[in-house]
Structure formats: structure tokens, C-alpha cells
């Protein structure tokens, strides 16, 4: 019997990526995965002139390996994995395109063959990467500044079996209050372009969409089976609109927002009940997903990427608010995914208990 679940999801989306078309329909519009670096343990390592790239683990399923997979940029930090046959190996790398430098948290999982995913931290205005360091236990810590605010954003990525837990906290500077009046909007762009069994290429992009999924009242639903609306900023007959390559989604506890003609993507009329968005591998054996317990908006976008960003919620230890999500990579069993997410997020069901009509005012 399939597990039907009701849950919650919010993602503050600061995207404007879908502006430049690719030259072929098997690719994505230009932009996105693009950064320099060095390695360190216990000390911050910020961007430096490019040197010989430090490589990241290229794990094989159920094996211990010290081999590494080179990113299309320069490694800044690689964590020392205490259990490489059990835990994902984490690192931070950068790539530069023109005047822009992009910083990624990468994770190579040992339980899925040749699976490395990247999280652009962060695709948010006013948030700037300052450094990263490796900690004990295979943990990575990143530091970001917040423009015009006396706080640092400290993001900790912790490897778990078949998962990575990502938690962000604010660190006050210069005598600032322990908590600001409002918290920054963090937009993590989770990308699968370096995972051969999960990425879009060499297939046309709509084939990737067919492998992406959310959970609705009907259980797991693949995105090509949802009610997808055309991209407002593109012509109705644009190839990227037939079918629509990108889409935003809201939870059943939120009405569907209106969009403007300049919006990069429309909102589907299909609402999700679970704060999880994921992708199934091309061979159907595995899945990878993002999950949290508070996001009201999610999206599937241009760069073989998905967004599922949580709200800032009170920490369990009472130390202010935290921003927390999980990346999962596991066998393609949606029920087990839901069970694992419910264990990691005990409040997973709460938002969907407050269902509202789909049509209404935001």
C-alpha cells in the first residue's frame, strides 16, 4: 500500500536564470554551474588564484575508495571521510565564468555508482562566500557574509548514511543582537549535472523532467504528469515551452500565486503534500532528493537543478533559529524516502494539516 503523506515546503526563490537559450535543445540555457581554490583542515580557505585542482572522491557502490573526482573548477576544501564506504565525501569547489565566481558544496555518495551532486551555496543576492574549512567527522563548514548586516552565515554540512544534513546559523558580529529582526533568504541550488545516471544530458531536457518528482494526494508524481504552465517570459511557441522545461510548485497549505509576464517560470496547478522534491536515475534503480519540513515553494529549474529551501525555524537547543535541509541518495523506494524524511523531520506533516483552497490571494 502506497504511503500518502501530507507535508510542507518553502523555498525563497531568487532566480532569474532562464534568460538565455542554449544552442541545442539537448542542453540548458546558458549560465549556472560555473569557480578557484585550495585545501585546508580546520582553517578557513577562501578563493585563491587557481592552482592544481584537488580532487573529490569518486565513490563506487558499496566500496571503500580513496580515488577522487575532479570538478570543473578548483577545489577549496575536501573533508577527510572517516567511513568512506558508509558516508558521503564532502568538499567545496569554485568555478569562475567571466566576472562571476560560483561556490559549490559537493557530495560523493558510496551507495550509488558514480554519484556526485553539487549545491550552489548560495544563489542569493547579498550573500557572499568568505571561506570554508574541513572539520572532524567528514564535516564541512562554510562562511558567508550578509551584505549590510552585521552577521556571518555559518553553514555546516554533515555526512550521514545515504544523506547530507545542511544547517545554517547566524553568527553576530560587532556586538549585533543575537537575532536579527529578519533572517536572510538562502537559496540553495542543488544540481545533478555531474551524476551521469541522473543528469539531463545527453537526452532532451524534457526527459529529465519526466524523472523528477514530488508527492501529492496521489502519492509520488513525476513532474511531466503535473499541470505545468508555460514560461511567462517566453513566447507560447518557444521550444522551451513545448513542453515547459521549468516550473514552480507550492504546498497544499498555500494558494497558487499569480505571476507577471516577466516571471522566469509559472506555478503548477498541482500542489504538493510533501516537502520533498527529487529525481530518479535513468536506469530506475536509485533516487536523490531534497527535503525539509517548512518550505512552501519548490521548483525544478534549468541547470539539472531543484530548489527546496526551508524557513528559519527555532533550533532544538534553543540557540536561535536555523535553516536546515537534507539531501538524500538511496534506492528508488519512495516509501522509504518518506519514512527517512519523517524520522529526520518529526514535524514533516504539520504544514499540510492547514490546507487552503488552491485559488486565493497570497
Q: Name the residue ranges covered by the structural domains of the chain.
A: 1-31+196-362, 34-192
Q: Within 10 Å of residue 287's Cβ, how many Cβ atoms?
A: 24
Q: How far apart are CA 344 and CA 331, in angstroms?
A: 18
pTM of the model: 0.83
Q: Compute the Cα dihedral for 115, 336, 167, 362 and give only its sign.
A: positive
Using DSSP, state whether 151 is helix, strand or coil.
strand
| Strands 297-300 and 286-291, sheet pairing | unpaired
- Model confidence at 311, in pLDDT bands (50, 70, 90)? very high
Cβ partners under 8 Å of residue 159, min gap 6: 79, 81, 87, 88, 89, 90, 107, 137, 138, 139
φ, ψ of residue 22 in degrees (nearest 5): -80, 170
Cβ partners under 8 Å of residue 286, min gap 6: 112, 115, 197, 198, 280, 329, 330, 331, 332
Residue 3 confidence (pLDDT): 40
Residue 139 confidence (pLDDT): 97
Residue 359 confidence (pLDDT): 87
22 has pLDDT over 90? no
340-360 tens-digit pLDDT:
999 999 999 899 999 999 986
212-271 tens-digit pLDDT:
999 999 999 999 999 999 999 999 999 999 999 999 999 999 999 999 999 999 999 999
Instruction: List the single range of 33-47, 144-158, 218-232 with lowest mean pLDDT.
Output: 33-47
Q: How far apart are CA 138 and CA 90, in angstroms?
A: 7
Amino acid at each position: 500500500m502506497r504511503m500518502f503523506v501530507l507535508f510542507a515546503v518553502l523555498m525563497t526563490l531568487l532566480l532569474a536564470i532562464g534568460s538565455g537559450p542554449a544552442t541545442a535543445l539537448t542542453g540548458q540555457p546558458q549560465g549556472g554551474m560555473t569557480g578557484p581554490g585550495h585545501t585546508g583542515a580546520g582553517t578557513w580557505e577562501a578563493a585563491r588564484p587557481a592552482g592544481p585542482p584537488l580532487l573529490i572522491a569518486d565513490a563506487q557502490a558499496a566500496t571503500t575508495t580513496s580515488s577522487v573526482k575532479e570538478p570543473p573548477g578548483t577545489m577549496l576544501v575536501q573533508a577527510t571521510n572517516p567511513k568512506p564506504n558508509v558516508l558521503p565525501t564532502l568538499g567545496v569547489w569554485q568555478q569562475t565564468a567571466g566576472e562571476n565566481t560560483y561556490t559549490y558544496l559537493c557530495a560523493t555518495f558510496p551507495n550509488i555508482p558514480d554519484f556526485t551532486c553539487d549545491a550552489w551555496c548560495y544563489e542569493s543576492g547579498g550573500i557572499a562566500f568568505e571561506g570554508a574549512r574541513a572539520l572532524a567527522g567528514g564535516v564541512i563548514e562554510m562562511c558567508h557574509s550578509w551584505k549590510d548586516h552585521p552577521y556571518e552565515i555559518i553553514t555546516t554540512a554533515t555526512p550521514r548514511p545515504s544523506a547530507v544534513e545542511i544547517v545554517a546559523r547566524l553568527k553576530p558580529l560587532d556586538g549585533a543582537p543575537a537575532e536579527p529582526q529578519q533572517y536572510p533568504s538562502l537559496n540553495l541550488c542543488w544540481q545533478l549535472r555531474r551524476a551521469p545516471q541522473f543528469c539531463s544530458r545527453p537526452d532532451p531536457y524534457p526527459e529529465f523532467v519526466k524523472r523528477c518528482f514530488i508527492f501529492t494526494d496521489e502519492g509520488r508524481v513525476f513532474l511531466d504528469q503535473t499541470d505545468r504552465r508555460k514560461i511567462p517570459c517566453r513566447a507560447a511557441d518557444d521550444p522551451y515551452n513545448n513542453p515547459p522545461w521549468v516550473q514552480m510548485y507550492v504546498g497544499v497549505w498555500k494558494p497558487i500565486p499569480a505571476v507577471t509576464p516577466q516571471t522566469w517560470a509559472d506555478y503548477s496547478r498541482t500542489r504538493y503534500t510533501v516537502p520533498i522534491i527529487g529525481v530518479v536515475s535513468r536506469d530506475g534503480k536509485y533516487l536523490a532528493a531534497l527535503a525539509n519540513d517548512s518550505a512552501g515553494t519548490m521548483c525544478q529549474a534549468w541547470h539539472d537543478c531543484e530548489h527546496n529551501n526551508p524557513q528559519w525555524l527555532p533550533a532544538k537547543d534553543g540557540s536561535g533559529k536555523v535553516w536546515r535541509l537534507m539531501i538524500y541518495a538511496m534506492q528508488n523506494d519512495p516509501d522509504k524516502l518518506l519514512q527517512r524524511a519523517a524520522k529526520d523531520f518529526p514535524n514533516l506533516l504539520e504544514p499540510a494539516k492547514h490546507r487552503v483552497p488552491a485559488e486565493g490571494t497570497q
